Structure 1
Amino acid sequence: MIDQVTGTGALPFAVQLKALLDKEFRYQPKLSGLRIIESAQDNGLRVTVKLRDFEVRDLLSLTRFFGFSAETFSLAVNLLDRFLAVMKIQPKHLSCVGLCCFYIAVKSSEEEKNVPLASDLIRISQNRFTVHDMMRMEKIILEKLYWKVKAPTALHFLRLFHTLIQEQVDAGSRINLNIERLEAQLKGCHCSFVFTKIKPSLLALSLLALEVQELHECEDVPALKEALDGLQESLSVKDGDLMCVRVLVAKCLVEYATTTKCLKPNAQRLRWMISGRTARQLKHSYYKIAHLPTIPECAF
């Protein structure tokens, strides 16, 4: 049975926060596995940090192409990182792993009518494996993650924290603290391996802290600072830890913004325009793809 985060929208903040924190650690990637990825050499034998980040960017492109939610993308990244942290994956299998994690997240988060066929996902992403390969890999991923799919991600914490702050500040401040902008920034952070080792709750708090800091440079909003301090106290986060992660977030967003529209919350949905001839070639090419080599199930 797939483990899920139960709906807690109508519950008090303290109850919702405790429910998320109780599950947070159990759904984090193993640090030992992440360190192995971090130390991997770029020799084609092991997945590296660079390859992981490229794969996450591909998943973000697919998310935009299909118009899927931020929740789907965040969950897909969580599944990918957790799996990579417990299994030895060769680079040639990474695209299959990534697409399967994405497909699991789509089926868990999106409405059933919006879930694409596996064959369409393969064709659009231009991957060189079959539906059979994908179904086999999906089964491996679910088994290795013990069917614990619906993880408490940084997005859950970010939305919860934002809702609390909205209730504590005036209408003018609410306009400034834009949740769409914050979610767009979180997507940028997901594309950087450095945040795989940071707790989702701390990452969410750091995003808010950076946003409040930037708002204070433009205008004095003491209510926002007070609300943020209250959140920090609720999470028992030290000032030094928050400052360190906030600096990492700021650096990441600056680098990410140079090549993407991450900081523009109203960016239009990505559209891929192809000719009829190209579409026919894509369709036919799928049946010519050789099966993916056997995937060894080697744990760290």
Structure 2
Amino acid sequence: MEDAALSARLVTAEARCKLISWLIPVHRYFGLSFEALCLAVNILDRFLTTTPVAADCFQLLGVTALLIACKQVEVHPPSVKELLTLCCDAFTRQQLHNLERVILHRLSFDLAAPTISFFLEHFSQVRLQVPGADAREAAYARSLAEGVAELSLADYAFVKYTPSLLAASSLQLLLRDCMDHLQLLVSLNRRFLLLLLPPELAQKCPWLRGGR
């Protein structure tokens, strides 16, 4: 899927990174689940394997994929108006609905997919089966692991890895207290990392705050 996801070459890896880096704070702004974000990225990448997308429509593709994902997993998805407002009203409601229909047709309405979020939940539940496991600590570790996993969503270099491997790696990074090595995970600079990471995760990375 790694090469196929950008097969049309109308969309570059850099453009994909910028779009998903924008979708991350958008999903937080609406209070959406990590599953909604993961599913949106999955829908976006799968659609790109089937259909060329012009650069000036890429943001519309991002919010449409997010809307479709939210309709699957959220009780109260954001409205079309709210999503278009975040795009500075560069697109119309009709354009979004048209693209939504195209995406659903191209994917044959097959929207369910195993995501990083799904496997993080699974691995967290497995950890709780260990005698003496602390449910609060497990929930905290999962929350931090989601922050690490978000960065892998944005970086195209990680498309080739399965969601289960990315979830396991994100969780292990936290459990082994290897946060100093988080900078190796992505090609983003420090300023963008601070924007993307949840505050509680950024606090565990002293190299983000210092001059390292």
TM-score in terms of structure 1 length = 0.59
Query: Which secondary structure does the structure 2 equivalent of 1:197 belong to?
Result: coil
Aligned length: 198
In 2 relative to 1, CA 62–34 (structure 1 residues): closer, same or farther, beyond 3 Å? same
Query: How many angstroms does 1:151 deviate by?
Result: 1.2
- Deviations for 1:31-59, whole angstroms, at most 9, x for unmatched residues? 4413636xx4xxxxx11001011111221
- Within 5 Å, give how 1:174-213 maps onto structure 2: 175=137, 178-213=141-176
Equivalent residue, structure 2, for 1:96: 60
Q: Where do 5+ consecutive residues of structure 1 fail to align?
A: 1-29, 41-45, 218-246, 268-300
Aligned ranges 1:3-18 → 2 under 5 Å: none
User: Which consecutive unaligned segments of at least 5 residues does structure 2 have?
Assistant: 203-212
Aligned CA RMSD, in angstroms, stands at 2.7
CA contact (8 A) 1:75 1:153 kept: yes
Structure 2 equivalent of residue 284 of structure 1: none
Change (3 A) 1:148 1:265: farther
Q: Is the 8 A contact 1:166 1:174 kept in 2?
A: no
Give 1:150-165 correspondences, 5 Å limit: 150-165=112-127
Partner in structure 1 of residue 210 of structure 2: none
Query: Which residue type is aligned with residue 82 of structure 2?
Result: D
The structural deviation recorded for 1:162 is: 1.4
Residue in 1 that maps onto 2:185: 252
1:214 aligns with 2:177: yes
What's the % identity of the aligned pairs? Answer: 26
Identify if the C-alpha distance between structure 1 residues 73 and 161 changes in structure 2 by more than 3 Å, giving closer, same or farther.
same
CA distance in 2, matches of 1:150, 1:265: 30
Q: 1:254 to 1:89 in 2, by over 3 A?
A: closer
Alignment deviations for residues 210-255 of structure 1 (CA, whole Å, 9 cap, x no partner): 223327x9xxxxxxxxxxxxxxxxxxxxxxxxxxxxx8x7612695
Q: Is the 8 A contact 2:39 2:69 kept in 1?
A: yes
- Measured at CA, do residues 93 and 191 of structure 1 come closer, stay the same or move farther in structure 2, by a change above 3 Å? same
Runs of 4+ in 1 over 6 A off after TM superposition: none
1:129 to 87, 91, 95: 91
Counterpart residue number, 2:15 = 51
